[in-house]
């Protein structure tokens, strides 16, 4: 049994997904794989987190979806970043950086 649990911080998933789609249209399953690979298996994105998140991002107009055939010959829903999705991503990254900076200030206080 793995004693490691890779729960992600609530609020970061959208940013990660949007960031992955910057690289070009990609289907949901592929997004999960990419996130896992790039994070060196730290994040193991569950499908119950992934798909609701994708629908949420699509509803908000940050991603648009299109059915295509994958390299493996199956149907896949390919997501690509919209213009406002790109702005949203930039905004989320800025917020993330300010936020981790503020957390760092607190964690750096000497004992």
25 is a contact residue toward DNA (CB under 7 A): no
Crossing angle between the packed helical segments 13-21 and 83-107, to the nearest 10 degrees: 130
φ, ψ for residue 66, nearest 5 deg: -150, 130
107 binds, among a copy of itself, DNA, none (CB under 5 to 8 A by kind): a copy of itself
Residue ranges that bind a copy of itself, judged by CB under 8 A: 7-12, 15-16, 19-20, 22-23, 35, 38-40, 42-43, 93, 96, 98-103, 105-107, 109, 111
Identify which of residues 2 and 73 has a Cβ nearer to a copy of itself in the complex: 2
Q: Is the Cα dihedral 20, 26, 28, 29 positive or negative? A: negative
């Amino acid at each position: 049994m793995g004693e490691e649990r890779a729960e992600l911080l609530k609020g970061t998933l959208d940013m990660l997904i949007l960031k992955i789609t910057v690289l070009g249209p990609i289907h949901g399953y592929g997004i999960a794989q990419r996130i896992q690979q790039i994070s060196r298996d730290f994040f193991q994105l569950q499908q119950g987190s992934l798909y609701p998140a994708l629908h949420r991002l699509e509803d908000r107009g940050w991603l648009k979806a299109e059915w295509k055939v994958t390299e493996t010959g199956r149907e896949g829903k390919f997501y690509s970043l919209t213009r406002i999705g790109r702005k949203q991503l930039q905004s989320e990254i800025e917020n993330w950086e300010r936020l981790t900076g503020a957390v760092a200030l607190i964690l750096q206080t000497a004992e």
